[in-house]
Structure 1
Amino acid sequence: MMGRRRADERNGFELPGHLKMENFDVELLARTFKGKEGASGFGEYVKNMFDLTLNWDDLRWLVEYSKIPVIVKGIVRGCDAIKALEAGARGIVVSNHGGRQIESTASTIEALPEVVEAVQGRCPVFVDGGIRSGTDIFKCIALGADMVFIGRPIIYGLSVGGVEGVKHVIQILRTEFEYAMRLSGISSIHQLQTVPRMVVHKNYYSSSKL
């Protein structure tokens, strides 16, 4: 279901008259994005597109119907990862949708180890959310992620410098990642994924075990 996105409710979003979203009906745009009392109606429109009756049987149907592998996004618990696998998912994305659906949900890097443990290598595990540096990528891979998705930094680069801005952001992330590997004595991705306890929770350093 759609979360309560207060910023979207308040921002009064409205497309300029000469622009339109190709996959949205023009009349719906005019009626929906105006909102009520100056508030954006975009969230309300999207919310009405969600089917709250969806369940794991629907995923099974989709897997049977689809001619391409189905990857399930939004998994943050090991038990749900197992259900997704049982329904035929070929990959899992550990994601909390940017924390915009429910702001107090666990961060994806905290949820990642439980999902990886539940999957036991039966499918690739991807992760997104809050990735801002090459060391963030390093930590996610060390915790078992097969791939790390990056969104906002790429958009920042695109906004500032277009294609070259995107290239610059990617190069920064790559350089930081390579430095983290070298300083940790890691020479390959495989080694990073198999060396135990390369990453510990921040609470470890304030625990009585030290």
Structure 2
Amino acid sequence: MGRSLGRYQRFVGCLVLGILAAFFALFLGHTEPLILGKPAAVSVAQTAPVFANPRQVAGEIYAKLPNFPLENTYIRQETNQVASESTLIERLIVYHTTVKGRSPVYRLDWKITLGDFLGVNDFLQGSTYPGTSYLKENPMAGDMAVIQALNRQERQQLIQTLVNYYSPLAGIPLESPQQPSRPMVEPDVVTPQLPPASQPGEAQLLSPRQEPRPTPTGDARFLLP
């Protein structure tokens, strides 16, 4: 009797352990990828353009805007050499994407960032500005002065060039240039033709025409006055 009871208990125990093992395997095999894998893929897809090397991007932008100020004469702290690779556009990109975490594929976000440099949006902080950790002089004030000296057309050209670079990386097609609108041609004005002015006596033509009365014959003609 005792042996049978022991075998039954071991059987039940093994059955319970098997059910628990199958449950945990099912939970870990299906639930974890749905919770952890999918959001991670979405996050990478959304932030892929941000991880483009800012220095490489800056080189591409300067190739398209050769007259844009470099501002790359600051001295590196460790070597006391000129950090010629640190440019204004590189620091602008790092500030936009890393410090502020803004999307690099939309013009509105870049306009907001330039608003920071113009002092009409958020305030820049020297402690978090790009280049502070490795340059002897904080480049924030100099970069702000350059951005503020740009005219409206130069700022728009800078923003459009940045968007044109980052949008294809995010799979966003570039907007096709707008076709120049055709000049509106005014329709020919047709002057209505008026009938000629009426002459004196023509108004009588509008009265109904009276047919001549027949001349009576026979004895009826003696009744005429």
Tell me if both proteins adopt one fold, taking TM over 0.5 as the criterion.
no
> What TM-score comes out, normalization by structure 1 length?
0.22
Q: Which has more helix, going by share of residues?
A: 2
Q: Which has more strand, going by share of residues?
A: 1
Which one has a bigger Cα radius of gyration?
2
Higher relative contact order (CA 8 A, sep 6+): 2
> What TM-score comes out, normalization by structure 2 length?
0.21
